[in-house]
Amino acid sequence: MAYSEKVIDHYQAPRNVGSFGKSDEVKERSDIGVGIVGAPECGDVMQLQIKVNDDGVIEDAKFKCFGCGSAIASSSLATEWIKGRTVDDALNIKNTEIVEELSLPPVKIHCSVLAEDSIRHAIADYKKKNDGAGETDSHTSASHNTN
């Protein structure tokens, strides 16, 4: 299968690889949301961590991915796109935009779906940690919890 140049670029130089700490450390931090989607037996697992500031803006994002080149590129691209957005704005990212940006073929659309899912799961985790409150007061509870 031929990959698009953008997929190859993300594969070779993935953006924002990493994490904000071990799984039990980040679990304690209310400024961080974690989304882990997929399953090893399906051949892809994406882990997305977002770090949200007091204004509800995703100031940093890190990913790890077990999966094909398209899965790696989708999650790498997702971190680029969500950084600097508010958590609610990040929810507007659609998998179809990822498909278009990376020129993914039909058999790889599930990679983009997984990337979108990882964003949703990470944001849901962040919101849950912050009392499951709505978007307007989430940053106050976040700062409250970290104190």
Partner 1 sequence: MPPSLPIYMDNASTTRTDPRVVEAMLPYFSEIYGNSASRNHCFGWDAEHAVNTARRQAADLIGAGPKEIIWTSGATESNNLAIKGAARMYAKAPAGESGRGHIITAIHEHKAVIDPCKRLEREGFDVTWLEPGEDGLITRAMIEAALREDTILVTIMWANNELGTINEIPAIGALCHERGVVLHTDATQWVGKMPTNVETDNIDLLSFSGHKIYGPNGVGALYVRRRRPRIRLEAMIDGGGHERGMRSGTLNVAGIVGMGAACALCSAEMDAEGERLFQLRTRLERSLVDSMDVVQINGNIEKRLPHITNISFGFVEGESLMMGIKDIACSSGSACTSASLEPSYVLKALGVGDELAHSSLRLSLGRWTTQEEVDYASLQIREAVEHLRAMSPLYDLHNEGIDISTIEWDAH
∠ CA 47-133-85, rounded to 5°:
50
According to DSSP, residue 94 is labeled: -
Residues between 25 and 44 that touch partner 1 (CB under 8 A):
36-44
Residue number, 8 or 137, with CB nearest to partner 1: 8
Among 46, 61, 119, 142, binds partner 1 (CB under 8 A): 46
Q: Which residues pair with 66 in a beta bridge?
A: 45
Q: How far apart are CA 82 and CA 93, in angstroms?
A: 8
Residues between 59 and 98 that touch partner 1 (CB under 8 A):
63-69, 71-72
**End-to-end CA gap in the chain:** 51
- In one letter, which amino acid is 61? A
User: What is the size of the binding site for partner 1 (CB under 8 A)?
Assistant: 36
By annotation, the residues acting in catalysis are 42, 111
- Residues at the interface with partner 1 (CB under 8 A): 1, 3, 8, 11, 14, 17, 19, 22-23, 36-47, 63-69, 71-72, 107, 110, 113-114, 117, 121
